[in-house]
Amino acid sequence: MSEIILTPKEQPQVPLEAKNITPDAFAGKTIDEIKELKIWHGNIQVALSEFFDVDGESAENASEMKIIIDGDVYNTKRIGQKMTAGEITVKGNVNMYVGVEMKGGKLTVEGNAASWAGQDMEGGELVIMGNAEDYVGAAYRGDWRGMSGGKITVYGNVGSEIAEYMNGGKMIIKGNVAIMPGVHMNNGVLIIEGNVVARVGGEMAGGTIVVKGVINEFLAGFKYIGVEKEIEVDGETIPGAFYKFKGDHATKGANGTVYAAVAGNGHIVP
Amino acid sequence: MEIVKNVVCPFCGTLCDDIICKVENNEIVGTINACRIGHSKFVHTEGAMRYKKPMIRKDGEFMEISYDEAIDKAAQILAESKRPLMYGWSCTECEAQAVGMELAEETKAVIDNTASVCHGPSVLALQDVGYPICTFGEVKNRADVVVYWGCNPMHAHPRHLSRHVFARGFFRERGRPDRTLIVVDPRESDTAKLADIHLQLDFDRDYELLDAMRAVLLGHEIHYDEVAGIPKELIYEAVEVLKKAQFGILFFGMGITHSRGKHRNIDIAIMMVEDLNDYGKFTLIPMRGHYNVTGFNQVATWQSGYPFCVDFSLGYPRYNPGETGANDQLQNKEADAMMVIASDPGAHFPQRALETMAEIPVIAIEPHRTPTTEMADLIIPPAIVGMEAEGTAYRMEGVPIRMKKVVDSELLSDREILEKIVERVKEIKASK
Amino acid sequence: MEHIIKNGIVYDPLNKIDGEKKDICIRDGKIVDSVNEADANVIDASGKIVMAGGIDPHTHIAGAKVNVGRMYRPEDSKKDVESRLAGKRSGSGFSVPSTFMTGYRYAQMGYTTAMEAAMPPLLSRHTHEEFIDTPIIDHAAYPLFGNNWFVMEYLKEGDVDSCAAYVSWLLKATKGYTIKIVNPAGTEAWAWGGNVHGIHDPAPYFDITAAEIIKGLAEVNEMLGLPHAIHLHCNDLGHPGNYETTLASFDVPKGIKPNPKTGSRDAVLYATHVQFHSYGGTTWRDFVSEAGSIADYVNKNDHLVIDVGQVTLDETTTMTADGPMEYDLHSINGLKWANCDVELETGSGVVPFLYTPGAPVPSVQWAIGMELFLLINDPGKVCLTTDSPNAGPFTRYPRVISWLMSNQYRSNLIENELHKWAQRKSDIATIEREYSFYEIAQVTRSTPAQVLGLSDTKGHLGVGADADVAVYSFNPETQDPSSDYMALEEAIQNATCVLKDGNIVVKDGVVVNIGIHGRTYWIDTQLEEGIYNEVVTDVEKKFKQYYSVNFQNYPVQEEYLPRSTPVNGVML
């Protein structure tokens, strides 16, 4: 696999939008051509090289290419937009929309990500080693068809409305979650290893949410089914005992499932 | 003394259009039919200081300049900016807003109105789940169940109750006695005191209550003794009233749009209203604040496809509140220049947003001295729409009404100021 | 400015010109006999098709529900955007484009007139505000009358004269163009959450039926001598088995004498988006096409003109004043539902819809539209529409035209993309008819112009007509649309040259100049004063009690019409 190393120069105050930082956009181009790829600085278009040093070796196909962003790009948005193959590793933080509409390949952020990481994701793998803000793997405004495939893993904590309108794929949050994970979820799997403040699965119609930590507050629209052990989710067995709920019965025809670890969640059982 | 009839009140989203103004020596000296807030707006009793000429800040002090100089300066700032922000728009007329949209497009700016700090959550919710509304007259003529959720019209929209609850309508000949009034509010507000049923829920638990109410509506039981601080029996009772409504209306305000979860509270409220249409008829109306906040959302939508938070930086419209809202732009320190018109973010925005405003050039198109003009580098005073200039405004539920000009003013209107800025920006860009 | 469009192959049905090589001369925005060739701008149309500007008699492009369609579908806006360019505004929206984009996109296809088909009277100022921001195209709006309290009360009392006076007042107050009727009695029932079924089911309280409303308003229409016939959206839209209601509705105004004071229409009924009203069966399971029965009726009767409402097999946004129908649709597809009930007047609803080609019902709906086009013999009785955006966006007209001109295009679609229901439940696969260019010019130009009462100046290229002209790069002498249908679609999507009022607005499919603002046609009837004043007094009294705006603030001011074009009729 060939490697392209992008070393960020100074991150400007007005953010950059760099949807061209993908193996797909780089493939088949020389280093000089890659330097001339356009990114947006506010409302002005500039060459990639204005804000990044570009080094390494290019490849013919995206699948044979790894892009390493060697530094912090906390004010750069849309890295990895629509990528279909290859790899991107960011050795720092990223701004909004990392891996938006991603279809394949692997994208790793070693730092934190701002909101809408993996928005409308269709395939591939997105890994965030730090924290992520709101709307991880959510849908675009107004759309009832959110993340449909692929896998998102966040090692740190996340904000609100993650997996909003999720339609497929898998999301694993190792840390804690604010409110409304899986709101309007229709399908797919959301596994939360930490705690949740409130409103797990609000208005969910389908899909499965597993919470291994503590749910502070729960919704009355869910019906308590009973305790299950060694639950089977997405072909995988999760050890431990879980309270099982079905809902959210606020929604017509709802058939979603929420599992909450028995340990620490006695207060949400009616 | 001259009497001007059928004047439209430039205060709140109720947009009362039956105001009578008494005019003496080109000044409004009295009103009939207006509420106290509307009256004081017409007669300037709030004691506000009015700007008579454009001003620019030089060495920390404001000095008067001509309109031409001010317009040139404003155009220079906007044309040179990489991420200009244009905010406000809710206290001016649609034709001015339309010119504002063109200015935003020309300068590749982000444009946003005060909806983003009031009913923006309602917009996000309606984009997800729909928007079943009606016009005010339907409420007056048909409604037998009226719900006010998270709003206190007795204070914020003073004539709202008299026009929609107490008023007699075609199918509700007795007015108030023909209607059941439900108020949902954690506080014992003056509106709540008038209610037949007051659901005094815990703060920040609107979504929880609505989730339970919807489940009950669909025939499920509540398995907890109380939800959101409301005993389950009272929830069953309230849902029964809603289900039996021949024509129900849900009015909702900032108490629910800005409690925990924001747009999701409205989302689930809208869904409840939709489900209620399986029984009788049920609709909703957001209690919009500024008299023409709705108008901006209309104009922005028909011109760009999006109602607010429109980002023209790439040459075509994009939209994502959370990124492209005025507060997002300021708090994330993206904006590098700001134009404020027909609103007062200096008084209403959070500290973190104000910090950015203090660091970047701020242009204020504003008739009065406000906290925003105190922070501005350039102040351009306009004639006041609805009193000194005419134009269209949209009532909170979307009925467009033409605002009247009652007295004359020597000042340029918002629209004229904006047109001149657009023209000047085009000249600057052409010269580059 | 003078122009001469030289050597084009001209299709101009109102002047009986069928593919003749002919020069078109233009001076001061009008078609003229000749111009001084030395001074005139020469547009070479050799080997190209020349037609009058297209006319869309039924579309949804401006006003409250249209804007809700834009506002509540950011996901639709996002997938189709246009940048700001010199002299051109930006925009967004695939199924419901923003106003500027709407004007540009009609013009790019050679369309120069488009009619907003549903205007709630109380919200008419909104429609006109959007027209101000809709460039190039001439336009008008159709105020809704079919569930109006005044109309229902006057007609219930049998007082057609007062009803006519009221209609004339409202047309003036709203700057409206025709009597639009949508689900008569049904939308009033929807104000209580109900609907009516068929034309003899009375509205609650007002106790008047659709049949009575249609008949009364058809009489009013001819009393007022309006240019257009009553414009009817029948009851029971989209319900399996509704073709019987449709046929019964068609019969209601039969026998009334057409009396237009301008133009030359023969019809007393314009029935819109008939595809949605030609369904047999009793449920979606045994749902079948009844396009044959409908076409048969149209073939045998001369008192009506229809438009089709062709399904284009796209994801789109439905919007209509038929409030109960939209709630039904929302109940079926579960997608977001918008609604607006308008006091004393009307209602509306908006729901997104996916006409997936491989799905059974949309495949049959597509077939039914095509059958109507192909089974009705006289293109003088059919207008081409998609009821945009209801059955698909207007930007698909070039595709609809290509389907009509190519059996091969249709067959490929039927065999490879549509659900087998298209063949099983309709006769579309057995119909080989292909439209000629002359017939296309009829359904997109002459027929709409005539039935709208605008054929003096619109829909043709004779001397005196407005100089609205489209030139398409397709050569009927060397290219066969039956086999070269993709080239045809492309040629119509991006006209080579379009003139509006004698200004070149489009070149090579791109808007180059927006010219002067489009006309707003509206009806300014002359009435006998006694009854008119009596009715206006009655209206003013009821306003105070039941409306939420003041009577004096209701009428749309002239400020909202940048190019006001009143059409005068006379009350008998």
DSSP C460: -
**What integer best gives the mean pLDDT of chain A?**
98
How high is the ipTM of this complex? 0.97
Of C100, C338, C344, which is closest to B137 when you measure between CB atoms?
C344
Q: What are phi and psi of B233, to 5 degrees?
A: -60, -40
**What integer best gives the mean pLDDT of chain B?**
96
Confidence of residue B47 (pLDDT cuts 50, 70, 90): low
Is residue C171 domain-shared with residue C320, that is, in the same domain?
Answer: yes
Is residue C489 domain-shared with residue C350, that is, in the same domain?
Answer: no
CA distance C422 to C399: 18
Given a contact cutoff of 8 angstroms between Cβ atoms, the answer to whether C55 and C111 are in contact is yes
Contact: A141, B124; criterion CB under 8 Å: yes
Which residue matches tokens 């006109």?
A: C128
Is residue C571 predicted with pLDDT exceeding 80?
no
Q: Which positions in chain C touch B130 (Cβ < 8 Å)?
A: 72, 330, 336-339
* Distance of residue B369 Cα from the nearest chain C Cα, in angstroms: 32
Interchain CB contact of B18 with C (< 8 Å): yes
Structure confidence at residue C569 (pLDDT) = 60
C residues 257-296 lying closer than 8 A (beta carbon) to B: none
Q: Return the percentage of chain C with pLDDT > 90, whole number.
A: 97
Contact: B126, C72; criterion CB under 8 Å: yes
What tokens were used for C211?
Answer: 């049949």
Give the residues across from B64 on adjacent strands: B55
Structure confidence at residue C391 (pLDDT) = 98
Structure confidence at residue C528 (pLDDT) = 80
Is residue B271 predicted with pLDDT exceeding 80?
yes
Of B260, B320, B336, which is closest to A179 when you measure between CB atoms?
B260
Is residue C148 domain-shared with residue C17, that is, in the same domain?
Answer: no
Contact: C338, B134; criterion CB under 8 Å: no
Is residue C81 domain-shared with residue C124, that is, in the same domain?
Answer: yes
CA distance A160 to B203: 19
**A139: nearest CA partner in chain C:** C75
Asked whether residue C130 is assigned to any structural domain, the reply reads: yes
What tens digit of pLDDT does each residue of C513-559 get?
999 999 999 999 877 889 999 999 999 999 999 999 999 999 999 99
* Distance of residue A235 Cα from the nearest chain B Cα, in angstroms: 31
Q: Which chains touch C (3 or more CB pairs under 8 A)?
A: A, B
Given a contact cutoff of 8 angstroms between Cβ atoms, the answer to whether C571 and C164 are in contact is yes
Asked whether residue C471 is assigned to any structural domain, the reply reads: yes
What tens digit of pLDDT does each residue of B234-253 get?
999 999 999 999 999 999 99
Asked whether residue C232 is assigned to any structural domain, the reply reads: yes
What tens digit of pLDDT does each residue of C127-169 get?
999 999 999 999 999 999 999 999 999 999 999 999 999 999 9
CA distance B185 to A24: 53
Of B98, B126, B312, which is closest to C90 when you measure between CB atoms?
B312
A residues 102-141 lying closer than 8 A (beta carbon) to C: 139-141
Contact: B135, C342; criterion CB under 8 Å: yes
Given a contact cutoff of 8 angstroms between Cβ atoms, the answer to whether B201 and B228 are in contact is yes
Is residue C381 predicted with pLDDT exceeding 60?
yes
CB-CB neighbours of C56 under 10 Å = 27
Contact: B6, C550; criterion CB under 8 Å: yes
What tens digit of pLDDT does each residue of B274-313 get?
999 999 999 999 999 999 999 999 999 999 999 999 999 9
Q: Which domain holds residue C197?
A: 57-452
Is residue C357 domain-shared with residue C485, that is, in the same domain?
Answer: no
CA distance A212 to C483: 63
Of B222, B313, B321, which is closest to A42 when you measure between CB atoms?
B313
Interchain CB contact of B247 with C (< 8 Å): yes
The torsion of the CA quartet B21, B24, B27, B30, rounded to 10 degrees, works out to -40
CA distance B182 to B148: 6
Structure confidence at residue C485 (pLDDT) = 98
Measured CA to CA in angstroms, residue C362 lies from B270, B312, C238, C314, C326 at distances of: 29, 37, 11, 10, 17
Helices (H), chain A: 23-26, 31-35
Structure confidence at residue C67 (pLDDT) = 98
- Mention every residue, 6+ apart, whose C-beta is less than 8 A from residue A73: A8, A11, A16, A79, A90, A92, A93, A94, A95
Q: Which positions in chain A touch B261 (Cβ < 8 Å)?
A: 160, 179-180, 199
Give the CATH number for residue C187: 3.20.20
Is residue C223 domain-shared with residue C121, that is, in the same domain?
Answer: yes
What is the phi-psi region of residue B391: left when phi exceeds 0, alpha when psi lies from -120 to 50, beta otherwise? left
**What integer best gives the mean pLDDT of chain C?**
97
Of C452, C476, C501, at which residue does a domain stop? C452
Which residue matches tokens 């029965």?
A: C293
Is residue C297 domain-shared with residue C150, that is, in the same domain?
Answer: yes
Q: What's the mean pLDDT in A217-227?
A: 98
Q: Which positions in chain C touch B135 (Cβ < 8 Å)?
A: 122, 340-343, 548
Interchain CB contact of A144 with C (< 8 Å): yes
Number of B–C residue contacts, CB under 8 Å: 191
Asked whether residue C100 is assigned to any structural domain, the reply reads: yes
Is residue C385 domain-shared with residue C480, that is, in the same domain?
Answer: no
Closest CA to A243 of A223, A221, A216, A219: A223
Of C511, C526, C548, at which residue does a domain stop? C511
How many domains is chain C partitioned into structurally?
2
Structure confidence at residue B279 (pLDDT) = 96
Asked whether residue C557 is assigned to any structural domain, the reply reads: no
Can you give the C-alpha Rg of chain C in angstroms? Answer: 22
C-alpha angle C224/C230/C235, rounded to 5°? 145
Q: Which positions in chain C touch B105 (Cβ < 8 Å)?
A: 84, 89-90
Is residue A104 predicted with pLDDT exceeding 60?
yes
Interchain CB contact of A143 with C (< 8 Å): yes
Q: Which positions in chain C touch B140 (Cβ < 8 Å)?
A: 343, 546, 548
CA distance A93 to A128: 9
B residues 222-261 lying closer than 8 A (beta carbon) to A: 222-224, 227, 260-261
**Parallel/antiparallel/unpaired status of strands A256-261 and B2-7:** unpaired
Contact: C339, B129; criterion CB under 8 Å: no
CA distance A14 to B82: 7
Contact: C78, A140; criterion CB under 8 Å: yes
Structure confidence at residue C568 (pLDDT) = 78
Q: What's the mean pLDDT in C4-17?
A: 98
Structure confidence at residue B46 (pLDDT) = 57
Which residue matches tokens 């193996």?
A: A23
Is residue C440 domain-shared with residue C330, that is, in the same domain?
Answer: yes
What tokens were used for A104?
Answer: 């394949």
DSSP C468: -
Structure confidence at residue B45 (pLDDT) = 61
Of C408, C432, C452, at which residue does a domain stop? C452
Is residue B400 predicted with pLDDT exceeding 60?
yes
Of B142, B305, B307, which is closest to C191 when you measure between CB atoms?
B142
Give the residues across from A77 on adjacent strands: A17
Is residue C393 domain-shared with residue C481, that is, in the same domain?
Answer: no
Given a contact cutoff of 8 angstroms between Cβ atoms, the answer to whether B115 and B307 are in contact is yes
Q: What's the mean pLDDT in C38-54?
A: 97
Helices (H), C200-288: 210-223, 243-251
Structure confidence at residue C89 (pLDDT) = 97
Q: What's the mean pLDDT in C28-44?
A: 95
Q: Return the percentage of chain A with pLDDT > 70, whole number.
A: 100
Q: Which chains touch B (3 or more CB pairs under 8 A)?
A: A, C
Q: What is the 3-state secondary structure (H, E, C) of chain B?
A: CEEEEEECCCCECCCCCCEEEEEECCEEEEEECCCHHHHHHHHCCCCCCECCCCEEEECCEEEECCHHHHHHHHHHHHHHCCCEEEEECCCCCHHHHHHHHHHHHHCCCEEEEHHHHCCHHHHHHHHHHEEEEECHHHHHHHCCEEEEECCCHHHHCCCHHHHHCCCCCCCCCCCHHHCEEEEECCCCCCCHHHCCEEECCCCCCHHHHHHHHHHHHCCCCCCCCEECCEEHHHHHHHHHHHHHCCEEEEEECHHHHCCCCCHHHHHHHHHHHHHHCCCCEEEEEECCCECCHHHHHHHHHHHHCCCCCEECCCCCCEECCCCCCHHHHHHCCCCCEEEEECCCHHHHCCHHHHHHHHHCCEEEECCECCHHHHHCCEEECCCCECCCECEEEECCCCCEEEECCCCCCCCCCHHHHHHHHHHHHHHHHHHC
Interchain CB contact of B17 with A (< 8 Å): no
Length of chain C in terms of residues written? 572
* B161: Cα within 13 Å, side-chain hemisphere: 20
Structure confidence at residue C572 (pLDDT) = 36
Contact: C67, B6; criterion CB under 8 Å: no
Confidence of residue C456 (pLDDT cuts 50, 70, 90): very high
Q: Which positions in chain A touch C334 (Cβ < 8 Å)?
A: 252
Given a contact cutoff of 8 angstroms between Cβ atoms, the answer to whether B356 and B335 are in contact is yes
Give the CATH number for residue C12: 2.30.40.10
DSSP C10: E
Asked whether residue C502 is assigned to any structural domain, the reply reads: yes
Is residue C315 domain-shared with residue C264, that is, in the same domain?
Answer: yes
Contact: A143, C75; criterion CB under 8 Å: yes
Structure confidence at residue C570 (pLDDT) = 47
Asked whether residue C179 is assigned to any structural domain, the reply reads: yes
Q: What's the mean pLDDT in C79-93?
A: 95
Is residue C433 domain-shared with residue C501, that is, in the same domain?
Answer: no
Q: Which positions in chain A touch C332 (Cβ < 8 Å)?
A: none
What tens digit of pLDDT does each residue of C401-428 get?
999 999 999 999 999 999 999 999 999 9
Interchain CB contact of C341 with B (< 8 Å): yes
C residues 308-327 lying closer than 8 A (beta carbon) to B: 327
